Amino acid sequence: MMLKIKRVPTVVSNYQKEDAGDSARPVGGCGRNCLKPCCIPDAKLPLYAFKKVNKVVVGKDSGLRECGEPPVAFLDSLVLGEWEDRMQRGLFRYDVTACETKVIPGEYGFIAQLNEGRHLKKRPTEFRVDKVLQPFDENKFNFTKVGQEEVLFQFEASDDGEVQFFPNAPIDVDNSPSFVAINVSPIEYGHVLLIPRIFERYPQRIDRESFLLALHMAAEADNPYFRLGYNSLGAFATINHLHFQAYYLAVPFPIEKAPTKKIANLNGGVKMSELLKYPVRGLVFEDGDTLEDLSNVVSDACICLQTNNIPFNVLISDCGKQVFLLPQCYAEKQALGEVDAELLDTQVNPAVWEISGHMVLKRKKDYDEASEANAWRLLAEVSLSEERFQEVNDLVFEAIGCAELDANAQKLQKVDAASSSAHPSVMAAGSQECVVQQ
């Protein structure tokens, strides 16, 4: 099955070349039209002010309709319209719409994309992979160095509780606005970055306020095809400046189709489950009386992993009503020489999108030979062992303070690894220690 995506010609952006001269750059400031003090005074950008809808549970007078077929929504048209404009202006490193994409036959429907341009032109990682928390470094690439033309709009809560749009709003640096910008090395059509409080220059680490902003964006989009993702350092984040990624994909992610088993009822009506029959062990958080309840639980779990130096990825799905938390150890195993050479040769770095089932492949050979078994084999190397995963669960339980542990939770801890894997022969086994040591 081939996926149909729009194809628009594009060229490599001059704005993204580190050694580019002043050609095609606006006059003024440093000449790069960046987001630093040299260029930001008197600058104006569009502003989308979202309505703070707090209820998330369908059927509980939530104020949100069920996330079903995508509506014609203003945020959708704004994101895609502005993204299309940047494509036509040539601000991307390569033409992602020319990438071949297919759904791999099998039970889960893994998606394969051949994206040779991302491998060749993506910005390299500039920090250690053995520490989840690292200080922000002004001298390394960060999002204040991007061109203003890469920013689609500012994204803030409205003052009066209603959605508003201002096409030419001042940038209030003192209040550190949040920006939505293009990802110049896109994985899919409409691939954007949410950069919370950009001028605070936070490193790549989750906090409650920023995670709630990401959930608000998912809820505001109100489109089941729009998901947000987060990669920690050590889990294939490539820039140490706080950001989430997001894009549209009009098929279910395999992880969204995986069965789950509830293990706890948490404060605020949040349900916590464990993924079953999926190559990467992970936790799923759903529902909640309010968006903030769900955000607080998940962000506290993420903060726990950060504090304990455990790399992780997050997928925000179902219009912000479902969040997958996926601790992983691929980079550590890679550094220790414990990953099979055949897998290393693929040069695939399994970050949130790959773990969720959207496999971004860099070699034609791997794309042509893509199969569910091959995808499963790679992702199994990402997963913590059953023993270590339960240790991580214990840390998370302690951090978030369970209101009611499900009766099945204790049984789950004793379940044989084969019962949680449809392909037990390729799952990571044993008690391999995967936590990155500080």
Which are the catalytic amino acids?
Answer: 243
Residues 6+ apart with CB under 8 A from 220: 50, 51, 53, 75, 163
| Alpha-carbon dihedral sign for residues 277, 266, 229, 384 | negative
- Report the relative pairing of strands 111-114 and 358-361 from DSSP bridges: parallel
CA–CA dist 251, 393 (Å, integer): 30
Residue 379 to residues 61, 279, 319, 321, 383: CA-CA distances in angstroms?
39, 6, 25, 25, 7
Long-range contacts of 391-398 (CB under 8 A, 24+ apart): 392/305, 392/310, 392/327, 393/263, 393/274, 393/283, 395/304, 395/305, 395/308, 395/310, 396/283, 396/301, 396/304, 396/305, 396/325, 397/264, 398/304
Q: Name residues whose C-beta falls within 8 Å of residue 107's C-beta, 6 or more positions apart in sequence.
A: 372, 422
How many distinct helices (H) and strands (E) make up the chain?
A: 12, 16
Calpha distance 410→218 (Å, rounded): 33
The rounded distance, in Å, linking the Cα atoms of 208 and 295 is: 7
Residue 199: name the closest of 159, 129, 151 by CA: 151
Give phi and psi for 2, each to the nearest 5: -95, 135
CA angle 346, 367, 372 (to 5 degrees): 90
